[in-house]
Amino acid sequence: MSIRVTPLQSGTAGGSAVAVAGTFVSLALFLSLTAHIAARNVLGDVPVKYALVVGPVPAAVAVVVTTFGLNPLLGILLAVVLDGVAVQYLYGQSRGLTAYITFIHVVVSILLGTVLYGVLALWASAPG
């Protein structure tokens, strides 16, 4: 008895330009939201416009790494480092506080992403 495996994704570079742009924009907005939550958690009242600049940085790295089939661990490392650079440049904090904000951004992104994925998985599997 053989087990049939169906891939979830047939290829990484096969998407249309509209699909790639839509993925980038939705990921950038999600990461902007989580960046604002992280900065607000650490620094208090901060402008939203800074988070709207921070979010697209790791989103661009994710899209480029996926499109060109690069090493995902290298992509994650590069995204976190560039996220920290953007946070330090925009919020003007010390390196220690910048690292803390970046760490909180990563944690909030993972937690909120996991919850959203779970909700979407439950919604998709609901009887129709």
Give the tens place of pLDDT for each residue, 11-21.
Answer: 555 568 888 89
Contacts (Cβ under 8 Å, ≥6 apart) of 12: 66, 67, 69
Does residue 26 fall inside a structural domain?
yes
Percent of the chain with pLDDT over 90: 77
**With contact defined as beta carbons under 8 Å apart, do 36 and 91 qualify?**
no
* Number of structural domains found in the chain: 1
- Total-model pTM: 0.83
Which residues constitute the domain of residue 81? 17-124
- Cα gap 46→90, rounded to integer Å: 11
Assess if residue 76 is contained within a domain: yes
Share of the chain above pLDDT 70, in %: 88
Q: pLDDT tens-digit profile of 19-71?
A: 889 989 999 999 999 999 999 999 999 999 999 999 999 999 999 999 888 99
Q: Residue 91 in contact with residue 56, Cβ under 8 Å?
A: no
Dihedral sign for Cα atoms in the order 22, 28, 30, 33: negative
